[in-house]
Amino acid sequence: MIAALIAQSSYACTASFSESISASTVTFTNVSSPTSGGSMFPVFSRWDFGDGASSSDWSATHTYSATGRYLVRLIVAYGDSITRTITCEDTAYDSVTITSLTRIISGSIIVDSTLSHLTYDTFKVWLITYDSTTDIIAAVDSAYTAGYDFVPYQFNSVTAGNYLIKAQDISTPSSGADFVPTYHTSSLHWNTADYVLFSTGILSGQDINMQNGIPTSGPGFIGGNVLYGAGKMTHSTGTVGDPVPGLLIYLMDASNKLVSSAYTDNSGNYSFSNIPTGTYTVYPENIGYTTTPWSSIVVSTGTPSINTINFKQTSTAIEPATTAIANVNESNGTIAIYPSPSDGNINLQWGNVSSKTAAVSVVNMTGQKVYQGELNINSNGKNQLNLSQLQSGIYFINIQAGNMQYNQKLSIQH
């Protein structure tokens, strides 16, 4: 180390520092001291790290973005303890050599403390890459962490790239109204999550705000299953008709708020019980797949149990299996919807439906409701519905007539 001494009158001080290197992160410890002239205290310090960056901290930590040799300068000043004027300055130099780079992504898992957990929550966190051009998904790293409220996590030796980060509370049941798997920053769905673009250095503050369900109680039940549909299974080895086990299913209310979550069992079945009457959406979640949720599911006192909200999973998508929903009160009721494809003008043919009215809603492939209305069922059992205002594309129509519900895919081509 080279030190240049600049003394004023009889006052003298010596600038000096040591360093500790971890990859490209260097901790500089200021060990400067006054050497003569009575009582003095530090007035200021300045670090120049040799790469254009600087700091005014007494001791400092700096992360370099490239390998190489850097000349570091420390300037310190001391002052009289009574007059608080600068009485001496000194400068010290040293070089540091960076041979490898620090590559860290870190953040905190933030939980709702009002849920009053009595023990630490234990989380598993995944660092995930997803290439939309090749449809390749890879969990390149994972870590376990535990704690209250603000739970830190960190990934080391991260290569440059674009990442999703997902956390799951593994200390709580897999179903219910507790914390559910959540993506950075606070998304339930991978396709609306915040991506993390990383190059090098330390990227901190990548927090995950864990989402949790709304505790509910009521007489309702919604259930169904998920089976593999046609298409080469890019993300699994299942064949057509096989059950899809371990798939995360969300239950959302009419305001699109999370109510509860569940996982499909080995038979591909899932269920939500003890839910209040109301309108719900069921949303299967699997990274890399385009999901079309099943919307406008009405649980009522007349129809408290709906058990055929079924889905099929193809190589790229999860979508409703478009079959009628069986209801014990009116299981023989039928409806035919045609033609499909159509120009938007469709026919509805009713059979054995005692209700005089029917509620109709249409959602697009992203689950957005694009039409809602009510039909007076004609005495001849036939109605026409004009959806020509909708753009060309694939839609799902939901019809509720009395205790009967029906879902079907529509293709509109202008």
pLDDT tens-digit map of 197-245: 999 899 999 999 999 887 778 999 999 999 998 764 445 556 778 899 9
pLDDT at 175: 43
Q: Which of 172, 189, 212 is the last residue of a domain?
A: 212
Confidence at residue 402, expressed as pLDDT on a 0 to 100 scale = 76
Q: What is the pLDDT of residue 104?
A: 95
Judged by average pLDDT, the poorest of 6-15, 90-99, 137-146 is 6-15
What six digits make up the tokens of 9? 């009158």
State whether 88 and 155 are in the same domain. Answer: no
Pick the last residue of a domain from 169, 196, 212.
212
Considering the domain architecture, whether residues 71 and 20 belong to the same structural domain is answered as: yes
pLDDT at 391 over 80: yes
> Do residue 303 and residue 317 come from a single domain?
yes
Q: How confident is the model at residue 368 (pLDDT cuts 50, 70, 90)?
A: confident
What pLDDT shows up at residue 7?
A: 40
- Residues 6 or more apart whose Cβ sits within 8 Å of residue 320: 292, 294, 309, 310, 311, 312, 396, 407, 409
User: What is the average pLDDT across 335-340?
Assistant: 79
Mean pLDDT, residues 75-88 taken together = 84
Say yes or no to pLDDT of 388 above 70.
yes
Residue count of the chain, please give it: 414
**Buried residues in 49-76 as b, exposed as e (16+ CB within 10 A):** bbbeeebeeeebebbbeeeeebebbbbb
| Amino acid 172: pLDDT | 61
According to DSSP, residue 332 is labeled T
Q: How many domains does the chain have?
A: 4
CATH number assigned to the domain comprising residue 205: 2.60.40.10
Pairing of strands 278-285, 305-306: unpaired
Same domain, 170 and 247: no
For the ranges 11-15, 52-56, 260-264, 376-380, which has the lowest average pLDDT? 376-380
pLDDT at 232: 47
Tell me which of 72, 98, 124 is where a domain ends: 98
Average pLDDT, the chain: 85
**pLDDT above 80 for 265:** yes
Same domain, 92 and 112: no
Based on the domain organization, do 142 and 87 belong to the same domain? no
pLDDT at site 173: 52
Per-residue confidence band for 334, with pLDDT thresholds at 50, 70 and 90: confident
Residue-level pLDDT at 290: 81
Task: Give the bridge partners for 279, in sequence order.
Answer: 298
pLDDT tens profile 17-27:
999 999 999 99
Q: For residues 201 and 116, state if they share a domain.
A: yes
Question: In the prediction, which pLDDT does 115 show?
Answer: 62
Q: What is the mean pLDDT of residues 344-359?
A: 84
Residues 224 and 179 in one domain: no
User: Is the domain of 317 the same as that of 239?
Assistant: yes
pLDDT higher than threshold 80 for residue 43: yes
CB atoms within 10 A of CB 333: 21
Tell me the average pLDDT across 285-302: 85
Average pLDDT of span 364-393: 86
| SS3 (DSSP) at 401 | strand
Do 92 and 11 share a structural domain?
yes
Most trustworthy range by pLDDT among 86-90, 123-127, 275-279, 359-363: 123-127
Q: What is residue 322's predicted lDDT score, i.e. its pLDDT? A: 64
Please report, in angstroms and rounded to a whole number, the separation of the first and last CA atoms in the chain.
79
Residue 68 confidence (pLDDT) = 96
Res 246 pLDDT > 50: yes
Same domain, 174 and 224: no
The range of the structural domain enclosing residue 402 comes to 330-414
Based on the fold, state whether residues 262 and 278 are members of the same structural domain: yes
